[in-house]
Amino acid sequence: MRVIFNEELKQVADDLDRMAQDVRKAIKGAGDALLNQDVEAAQTVIDGDIEIDALESSVLDQCVKLLAKQNPVATDLRVVVSTMRLASTFERMGDLARHVAEAARRTYPAAAIPESAQPVFADMVAFLDNTADQLVAMLTDRDAKTAEAIILADDKLDELHHRTFDLALSDEITRQQTVDIVLLGRFLERLGDHAVSAARRVVYIVSGFDPTKEPTRDEGTDID
Amino acid sequence: MRVIFNEELKQVADDLDRMAQDVRKAIKGAGDALLNQDVEAAQTVIDGDIEIDALESSVLDQCVKLLAKQNPVATDLRVVVSTMRLASTFERMGDLARHVAEAARRTYPAAAIPESAQPVFADMVAFLDNTADQLVAMLTDRDAKTAEAIILADDKLDELHHRTFDLALSDEITRQQTVDIVLLGRFLERLGDHAVSAARRVVYIVSGFDPTKEPTRDEGTDID
């Protein structure tokens, strides 16, 4: 039983790693689409989201089968349950990257955000590129240290997100640009939130300590 | 074993019902806060979110224990796994209702949205009030028909959401109002998306058919 469990879990873990890699690709592609009007990158992200969705389904199916057939307990059970939640988090990150890519494609060949907002969005994209690298590393190595780094760094993204609101209020840009700054800022901030939530799942898998139960009221305030 | 399983499952189901009721209260309170500048309602929603978060934790813990101790299979397993996902969906709905309430509190005693946008937002709030009633009914009765009604109705909310973008582009309102319309529209639309996702879980519990696997690319487009 044990050997079969480990083999099957390995298969699920491989799919989850692939999801993380796909999400990383999607985040980088969405960033390129947004900052460099790379419409091909945008299309690749949009098309690629189907694979992420399919991987989520596959991971969830495999986990349910594992639960039914192997009745894992203790750490094994924690791994399976967390894997299901990680898959759903990655699926949602794929959606958000796709939303960013869709915004970029919609305004092409013009940029989706005005020049005044480019530096802050470039910082957000760079932040998320780095987070995406950390996500993949964290998952490959089941590394709680990297996970903790993701959790701790998120304030920086929130701070950048707050700055987008000031930019959105400028009278120098069009109303449509205000709308796009708000939406794109929100999508990027949510990508960061989900990365934090994924990192917390990994901390939970590795240590058994569930950091989602700490008294945090929010992951990234939205409007204040 | 069977009797214990059913008893423990009943306890989890009660907690999940309570979550649905709390979410309904939060949605109604957020609507009042938004449309009637009811700052007390806003505060109640904001404070009440802690209970929803605690219920989610409790439901997840109970489900993990059930999985470990009872090794449910087939329909029972589907119920437990779906219950976990429903709890997370409800938790997120509580967050979104809280975000709406926070926006209303922030602009109090002024309205968070300009008069021109009130009718559309009133329609969205009325739609979500009704959805919240359906959610509670669907869960209490494990009723796939109500769940399907929720899924089918969501287009209406998307249509209302699209109309908020036109309102947001008006030059007659302040930039801050543009920002708030976009954010609040997004929060309400996401509340609807999560209701659909909850409804799909219930269809899955009742029928074994997983409607999330239908080829739907999105739940509510965001910006186009």
Under 8 Å CB-to-CB from A180, ≥6 apart: which residues? A103, A107, A112, A113, B223
The per-residue DSSP string of chain B comes to: -HHHHHHHHHHHHHHHHHHHHHHHHHHHHHHHHHHH--HHHHHHHHHHHHHHHHHHHHHHHHHHHHHHHH---HHHHHHHHHHHHHHHHHHHHHHHHHHHHHHHHHHTTS-SS-GGGHHHHHHHHHHHHHHHHHHHHHHHHT-HHHHHHHHHHHHHHHHHHHHHHHHHT-TTS-HHHHHHHHHHHHHHHHHHHHHHHHHHHHHHHHHS--GGGS----SS-S--
DSSP state, residue A219? S
Place of tokens 């709406």: B100
Q: Which two tokens stand for residue B101?
A: 């309430």
Q: Do B78 and A64 touch (CB under 8 A)?
A: yes
Alpha-carbon gap, residue A165 to B180, rounded angstroms = 10
More confident residue, A75 or B31: B31
Residues B196 and B209: their CA atoms lie apart, in Å, by 15
Q: Which residue has the higher pLDDT, B220 or B101?
A: B101
Tell whether A189 is within 8 A of chain B (Cβ).
Answer: no
For chain B, the structural domain boundaries read: 2-213
CA dist list (Å): B131 to B27, B150, B156: 10, 7, 12
Q: What is the pLDDT of residue B211?
A: 65
Contact B170 A175 (CB under 8 A): yes
| Residues from chain A contacting residue B99 (CB–CB below 8 Å) | 222-223
A126 to A130, B101, B106: CA distances (angstroms): 6, 32, 31
Question: What is the ipTM for the molecules in this complex?
Answer: 0.91
Residue B223 clears pLDDT 90, i.e. is over it: no
AA identity, residue B26: A
Q: Letter for the amino acid at B4?
A: I
Look up tokens 């978060």; give the residue.
Answer: B53
Q: What's the average pLDDT block by block, 10 residues per block, for chain A (224 residues)?
A: 81 95 98 98 98 97 95 92 96 98 96 97 98 95 92 97 97 97 98 97 80 51 35
Instruction: Please enumerate in sequence order all residues whose Cβ is within 8 A of that of B116, keeping only pairs 6 or more positions apart, or say none.
Output: B167, B170, B172, B173
Q: Is the pLDDT of residue B160 over 90?
A: yes
pLDDT at site A205:
82
Longest dimension (CA), chain B: 66
pLDDT value of residue A18? 97
Contact B103 A223 (CB under 8 A): yes
φ, ψ dihedrals at B102, nearest 5°: -65, -40
Q: What is the pLDDT of residue B6?
A: 86
> pLDDT, tens digit, for every residue of B46-58?
999 999 999 999 9
Query: Would the CB atoms of B57 and A170 count as touching at under 8 Å?
Result: no
Q: Which of B47, B82, B179 to mutate to test the interface with A (most CBs of A within 10 A)?
A: B179
End-to-end CA distance of chain A: 52
CB-closest option in B73, B175, B218 to A169: B175
Backbone angles phi, psi at B142, to 5 degrees: 45, 55
CATH class of domain segment(s) A2-213: mainly alpha
